Structure 1
Amino acid sequence: MDKISPCLWFNGEAEAAMNFYLSVFKRSRCTNILRWGEGGHGVPGSVLLATFELEGQTFSALNGGPQYQFTPAISLFVNCDDQAEVDEVWGKLVAAGGQPVQCGWITDHFGVSWQIVPRQAMALMDDPDPARAARVFQAMMPMIKLDLADLQRAYDGG
């Protein structure tokens, strides 16, 4: 288990959220489900805490109740290997009711914010030539889903 891993707080949807995330990412698996027993705060047998891995990162999904909601103040950053992976992950999130935002951000139907970004985009924006990096950043700002070919054209000056 990772020394530090995110725990996502849900209101009765922890197992559904975990199962959805497992369906989105190829390298994923459930590692443990802790269920409420008799005398606990939840319905006996319902999920208290689900632990799972997405692409090697450990997550926990806690059914903590209605006290807290997700905000975009924290998001899950997905480094995609290419445009095909961006399209695949984005498509799965949207198909399940996710709401596209801007600059590669999308909020899934559970309220969790994601950033779906091709790795190459970060390299283009980190170019030592400030003019190239600025062109890429300016091209990215109005995008909803990031388009690596358009970012590359901006980088190349076209």
Structure 2
Amino acid sequence: MITQKITPSLWIETRDAKAVVDYYLSIFKDGKMIDYHQYENPPEAGGEKFETATIEIEGMQLNILAAGPFFKFNESVSFVINTKDQAETDYYWDALTANGGEESSCGWCKDKYGLSWQVVPIEYFKLINSTDPKVRERAIKNTLKQKKIILSELK
């Protein structure tokens, strides 16, 4: 059942939607699979099999299209995870960069499928938007030196 007006769709370079669902639900513990289907293209479209799934993570539905290696993710589309504290930041960072994910800079990373995420403690935005120019400057300057955001180093 479609409950959201706009649903992001992720074309993953595999044909196994259930593996993708399992991966994301292992990270986002309160998530759930809403829908799953297997399809086969007609011969004139190559006849390849593909799968789709819809998952809900953190209250947002995502459509998974597991139709093979035709398109790659790039950083122009990404998701931001607003975390409540450093421990939650560490959890998501570690989970997303494990098993083939990769670290970038300024809180950005990629998961094992190549999807970009920025993992950011909510307090970070208070620091970089502070009315005190010294606080703002220190936070922004130190952000540029980090991969994972470490709040204690920004204050």
Q: Normalization by structure 2: what TM-score? A: 0.87
Q: Residue 59 of structure 1: which of 41, 49, 62 is its match?
A: 62
Partner SS, residue 76 of structure 2? coil
Q: Residue 142 of structure 1: which of 142, 145, 155 is its match?
A: 145
Q: Unaligned regions of 5+ residues in structure 1, if any?
A: 154-158
Q: Which residue of 1 aligns with 2:18?
A: 15
Q: Which residue of 2 aligns with 1:121?
A: 124
CA RMSD of aligned residues (A): 1.8
CA–CA distance in structure 1, aligned partners of residues 16 and 116 of structure 2 = 16
Q: Which residue of 1 aligns with 2:71?
A: 68
Report 1:87-126 matches (<5 A): 87-126=90-129
Q: Which residue of 2 aligns with 1:4?
A: 6
| Segments ≥4 residues shifted beyond 3 Å | 37-42
Partner SS, residue 36 of structure 1? strand
CA–CA distance in structure 2, aligned partners of residues 13 and 122 of structure 1 = 37
Q: What is the identity, as a one-letter code, of the residue corresponding to 1:119?
A: I
Q: What is the identity, as a one-letter code, of the residue corresponding to 1:84?
A: A
Q: Which residue of 1 aligns with 2:36?
A: 33
Contact persistence 2:98–2:112 (CA under 8 A): no
Deviation at 1:37, TM superposition (A): 5.5
Partner SS, residue 88 of structure 2? helix
Deviation at 1:13, TM superposition (A): 4.2
Q: What is the identity, as a one-letter code, of the residue corresponding to 1:113?
A: S
Q: What is the identity, as a one-letter code, of the residue corresponding to 2:9?
A: C
Q: What is the identity, as a one-letter code, of the residue corresponding to 1:26?
A: K
Relative to structure 1, the CA distance from residue 22 to residue 73 in structure 2 (aligned partners, 3 Å threshold; closer, same or farther) is same
Q: Normalization by structure 1: what TM-score? A: 0.85
Q: Which residue of 2 aligns with 1:84?
A: 87
Counting aligned pairs with the same residue, the percent is 34
Partner SS, residue 65 of structure 1? coil
CA–CA distance in structure 1, aligned partners of residues 41 and 127 of structure 2 = 55
Partner SS, residue 61 of structure 2? strand
Deviation at 1:135, TM superposition (A): 1.4
Q: What is the identity, as a one-letter code, of the residue corresponding to 1:90?
A: W
Range moving further from structure 2, 128-137 or 113-122:
128-137
